[in-house]
Structure 1
Amino acid sequence: MKEYIGYCGLDCKSCDAYIATIHDDQSLREKTAKLWSALNNAPILPEHINCEGCRMKGKKTVFCEHLCVIRKCAAEKGVVTCKDCDQFSSCSNLKAILLNNPSAKENLIGLDTVVK
């Protein structure tokens, strides 16, 4: 199983926060913080850009750890990924991710996961 595929199907290994964390790249942290601040109209600082993967133990961005409704829901339901949820096809939270990121659905479909 690909542990770096998030609950929603996004590939953590392609996320700038993950890349900056594993390479300890301060320049990428600064660039990502500036971009995410503008996109979210919120103060995001370079020190907030640390993440070791959605489903992995370790550091998470503030959004991923505390604000992501998909991650919170999946953890509460005890599923490995959203693909394992009985509401996978009808989830309104997941729908936006899958529409904007077709590879996320492909990542989920390609995983061999099982509900706990």
Structure 2
Amino acid sequence: MKKLIAYCGLDCEKCDAYIATQNNDQALREKTAKYWSELNGVEITPEMINCDGCRMDGRKTPYCDCMCQIKICAQSKKIETCSSCPQVKNCKTVGMVTINNDEARKNLGI
């Protein structure tokens, strides 16, 4: 599987945090921080918008680094992505992403 596919099946190359980091785009960091703050009801600052990819070494947003339950689960099972998990089709954790994202489902093969 492509290294820039996250544990949940999302494509990191299409993520605004990844794009802002790779292009050192401060305006996109600010826009993403504002949007994510509103979406999640927490303060997210532009300084938090740095990511080299969910499964890659390097920078991560605070959520993706240590709070993402999908990542925590996949790492505890020592699997590359949720596609390797026998429970993926009925998993409520990854289902929070896949229920509304056809691309993530396709990337995970579900």
Report the TM-score, using the length of structure 2 for normalisation.
0.96
Identity %: 53
Quote the residue 1:44 is aligned against: 44
Separation in 1, partners of 2:99, 2:88: 13
Residue 12 (structure 1) aligns with: 12
How far does residue 66 in structure 1 lie from its aligned partner after superposition? 1.2
Amino acid paired to 2:52: E
Taking only aligned residues, the RMSD between alpha carbons, in angstroms, comes to 1.1
Shift, 1:85, TM fit: 0.9
Q: Report the TM-score when normalising by structure 1.
A: 0.91
> What is the match of residue 3 of structure 2?
3
Structure 1, unmatched stretches of 5+, are 111-116
CA distance in structure 1 between the partners assigned to 2:34 and 2:88 by the alignment: 33
CA distance in 2: counterparts of 1:89 and 1:107, whole angstroms: 13
Give the CA deviation at 1:34.
0.4
* Pair 1:57-2:61 in alignment: no
User: Which residue is 2:67 aligned to?
Assistant: 67
Match for residue 25 of structure 2?
Answer: 25
**TM alignment of 1:100-115, pairs within 5 A:** 100-109=100-109
Amino acid at match of 2:32: T
Q: Quick one: distance in 2 between partners of 1:23 and 1:101?
A: 25
Q: Distance in 2 between matches of 1:89 and 1:104?
A: 12
Note the residue ranges of structure 2 that are not aligned, 5 or more in a row.
none
CA distance in 2, matches of 1:87, 1:108: 12
Aligned residues: 110
Report the Cα offset of residue 95 of structure 1. 1.2
State the shift of 1:12 in Å: 0.3
